[in-house]
Amino acid sequence: MVAAENQPVTICKNICFNRRHDTGMGLLWRLNEYDRLLFLKLFKHRENGFALLSLRILSRSSEGVLHVLIPVAIRKFGLPGLETVFPLLVVSLVIERSLHWVLKNTLQRPRPQDSIPGVRSLAAGANRFSCPSGHCSRAFLLATVLVLVYGCGAVVMYLWAGAVALSRVSLGVHYPGDVLVGAVVGSFVAVISWLVVVGA
């Protein structure tokens, strides 16, 4: 049983290290190796009902529901900041979605189950490519927008965004590097959009 669980790790190690020596691609290839190996350490293909359901709900929470519900809640309860949050979210999401599409189709990194033998993801990806993670990008975008508008009181949103990132790796649809790039993209876009909206 232990040998079976470790088989993808062994296969990945052999593929990664053999290819590195054959191609001599250096640092970039080494980073890819470590990313794949870290993925296999984090991803455990155990279809526990409650854990799997929790991961899927957490993952889906970054698909746009909170991006709509939070401005609605701000308006309903008469909280300050709606005049900034709403245009900031609209501008940042337009930029983020465009940048995400360009990066995905430029990098064209295959998803783990398409590139590592023996790995089967526990959720469906929106498309063929893995990097950057769109779920993670949207999550960190929302967290950063709220922190920029409301300050330290909204920092807790980064815990949610981090949990979304972990869920995407745990479900087997992204490498750790994909969610890291997604986090950087989402946060960066939010800051640039803040400068555009607030500075306008």
* pTM score of the predicted model: 0.83
- What mean pLDDT is reported for the chain? 85
Could you give the number of structural domains in the chain? 2
Cα torsion at 41, 181, 65, 90 (round to 10°)?
Answer: 180
Q: Dig out the tokens for 68 from the structure.
A: 């709509």
Mean pLDDT of 37-58: 81
Residue 21: is its pLDDT beyond 60? no
Q: Are residues 12 and 91 in the same domain?
A: no
Q: Dig out the tokens for 75 from the structure.
A: 């308006």
Q: In which domain, by residue range, is 192 found?
A: 48-199
Mean pLDDT of 94-116: 93
Q: Are residues 32 and 92 in the same domain?
A: no
Q: Are residues 110 and 73 in the same domain?
A: yes
pLDDT band per the 50, 70, 90 thresholds, residue 51: confident
Q: Are residues 1 and 80 in the same domain?
A: no
What percent of the chain is predicted at pLDDT more than 90? 58
Q: Are residues 109 and 158 in the same domain?
A: yes
Q: Are residues 139 and 123 in the same domain?
A: yes
**In angstroms, what CA-CA distances link 60 with 56, 136, 186, 198?**
6, 11, 17, 30
Q: Are residues 56 and 74 in the same domain?
A: yes
How many beta carbons lie within 10 A of that of residue 86, not counting itself? 16
Q: Are residues 54 and 105 in the same domain?
A: yes
Which of 15, 13, 42 shows the shortest CA–CA distance to 172?
42
Residue 46: is its pLDDT beyond 70? no
**Alpha-carbon radius of gyration of the chain:** 19
Q: Are residues 58 and 117 in the same domain?
A: yes
Q: Are residues 31 and 83 in the same domain?
A: no
Q: Are residues 55 and 123 in the same domain?
A: yes
Which of 137, 148, 144 shows the shortest CA–CA distance to 180?
137
pLDDT (tens digit per residue) in 130-183: 999 999 999 999 999 999 999 988 899 999 999 999 999 989 899 999 999 999
Sign (positive/negative) of CA torsion 144, 165, 178, 108?
Answer: negative
Q: Are residues 53 and 31 in the same domain?
A: no
